[in-house]
């Protein structure tokens, strides 16, 4: 979750840098706690940066949900 939170913070910073008021942005980290892959990635070998099949399978779980709040 720490990496997911950093990803959400990066999204907020990016949008704020593009002119969106930071107070209007709600970014929620999603990832392992709300996985979309289910058991699809279970038997793809060890979790490592060099296991490309596993990394690609888990990419769908690495996401941020962003909402803009009305003024």
pLDDT surpassing 70 at residue 36? yes
Averaged pLDDT, 33-60: 81
Q: Tell me the CA distances in angstroms from 69 to 24, 28, 52, one per residue in order.
A: 5, 13, 37
35 vs 17, residue with greater confidence? 17
Residue 71 or 41, more confident: 41
9: closest CA among 71, 64, 58, 46? 64
Tell me, what's the pLDDT at 43?
83
Please give the DSSP secondary-structure letter assigned to residue 51: -
CATH number of 2-68: 3.30.1330.60
Structure tokens at 9: 């913070």
Domain ranges of the chain: 2-68
Beta bridge partners, 25, equal 68
Instruction: Give the separation between CA 6 and CA 63, rounded to whole angstroms.
Output: 11
């Amino acid at each position: 979750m720490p990496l997911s939170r950093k990803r959400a913070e990066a999204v907020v910073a990016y949008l704020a840098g593009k002119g969106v008021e930071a107070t209007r942005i709600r970014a929620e980290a999603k990832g392992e706690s709300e996985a979309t892959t289910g058991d699809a990635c279970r038997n793809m070998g060890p979790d490592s940066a060099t296991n490309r099949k596993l990394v690609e399978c888990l990419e769908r779980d690495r996401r941020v949900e962003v909402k803009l709040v009305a003024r």
